[in-house]
A and B are shown apart, each in its own frame.
Chain A
């Protein structure tokens, strides 16, 4: 500070060693500060100064107060709201900057300070820094989160386009869409894409197009240009509008090598506007093929199912036919069997013969013992023979009749059946259904 006071305030006057008290010029503090201020402001109308930002703080008024320092010195500074707003990056403590401004004095405190008109970061360009800062901020806010990315609609109903009507982008987009999806319904919301206010314009356009009924995907972008031309797409307001767009958004800014903040926030980044249009309709062909495949599989599966049912039906019909035939045949078998059995049931006939024999016996009572004995013997033999002829009588003695499975023939020879054959065995009472397990031949 001492150097300040080395500076003369006014023309130096030779002062006598003992000046009269009346000649003393006494200044008020205000006067002094005002004089100092005038002096400094005249001297430092525009200075460039480099240093490190520290203690920076933006007050409610919108002005920023800070300290600029180097290794050995510091100066207080202020940047008024209007100048601060014009900055694209956010001044942060620790940042090495070059400040342009003037020196002034804050009378109330008797402090001189740098009134900063403009700040630029040292090293990085201001735009580059602004880009990095916004990128970090939005990343921290989660706007780049992959989980936020929405898939594009399989088949867009209406394709929203936010770009300038004067640029190449709108033409490229329309051309590609017309070629790939001739029926595409396109809704364009014209917007400025560069210059002051372009960012806000783009943000408004995004909000508006997101509300158009049926628009289910939006392409936002512009053709190539300098970093300044593309700058609107690095503004936070655009990034927020993309994040807030109710439908999936594709960013398509400049050429393939241009990367903007919009690209990080968008659901999908297209290297160029044409590529964005391709992406929007890319899945149409896939879907055509996919649907054809699905329809074909539905048909094939349904046909297979039908064929399965058909062959089962045929099998059932065949089986029921066989069963009906078997039942009928069996019924016929039973009937003939019973008739046969009745025919062969000789007991009744035997009974009649006996009665006659007994009667004859009675008539023979008077005959000779021998002849009677003979007659008796003949009678017995006859009765025995008759008895033996009756299958039921035989069965009654524990014998059984073995039939073939159909009961159409009696099995007399083990060689006539095979292992596993079914045979039916008639007992005196009831019948058995048997499988041949083993056979032996005499």
Chain B
């Protein structure tokens, strides 16, 4: 079990969560380990949910010189 308290990658978090479920469901683990896995599982699922919602609502345009400029009103322009 990874004890890394931080999770960087959404997919890695899901994979770890899946493996925790598997371990918990099939393994006759010591209680202490089970509770640790449970805590980790809760942490991971919270992380995943936060990742699902956290993306920045933003539209940027990358210009020829490689510069990013925010352009939220692009949508409005193009809808006219």
Contact = CB atoms under 8 A, between A and B. Distances in A.
Interface of A: 153-157, 165, 170-171, 174-175, 178, 181-190, 208-209, 211-212, 284, 287-288, 290-292, 294-295, 297-299, 301-302, 305-306, 309
B31 interface: yes
B56 interface: yes
A188 B61 CA distance: 5
Contact of B78 (A156, A174, A288, A291): A174
A340 to B, nearest CB: 48
Interface residues of B, number: 40
Contact of A181 (B24, B29, B55): B55
Given A153-B11, A187-B68, A306-B31, A297 B25 contact: yes
Given A174-B74, A174-B75, A186-B59, A294 B53 contact: no
B78 A208 contact: no
A298 B34 CA distance: 10
A301 B21 contact: yes
Contacts of B54: 183
Nearest to B32: A309
Contacts of A155: 10-11, 51-52, 55
Contacts of B11: 153-155
B56 A171 contact: no
Interface string B45-70: 10011011111111111110010100
Interface string B8-28: 001100100110110011000
A428 B58 CA distance: 96
- Point out which of B21, B29, B68 has the most chain A C-beta atoms below 10 A from its C-beta: B21
Nearest to B12: A154
Nearest to B78: A171
Nearest to A184: B55
Q: Dominant SS at the A interface? A: helix
A171 B59 contact: no
Contacts of A209: 62
A305 B48 contact: no
A185 B45 contact: no
Contact of A288 (B17, B52, B60, B61): B52
Closest 10 CB pairs of A and B: A298-B41, A301-B24, A302-B38, A295-B45, A183-B55, A171-B78, A305-B34, A189-B62, A291-B48, A297-B21
Contacts of A186: 58-60
A170 B41 contact: no
5 contacts: A153-B10, A182-B57, A208-B66, A298-B38, A298-B45
Given A154-B11, A185-B55, A299-B38, A294 B18 contact: yes
B7 interface: no
B17 A298 contact: yes
B24 A298 contact: yes
A187 B62 contact: yes
Contacts of B63: 190
A36 to B, nearest CB: 54
Contacts of B17: 291, 294-295, 298
Contacts of B78: 165, 170-171, 174
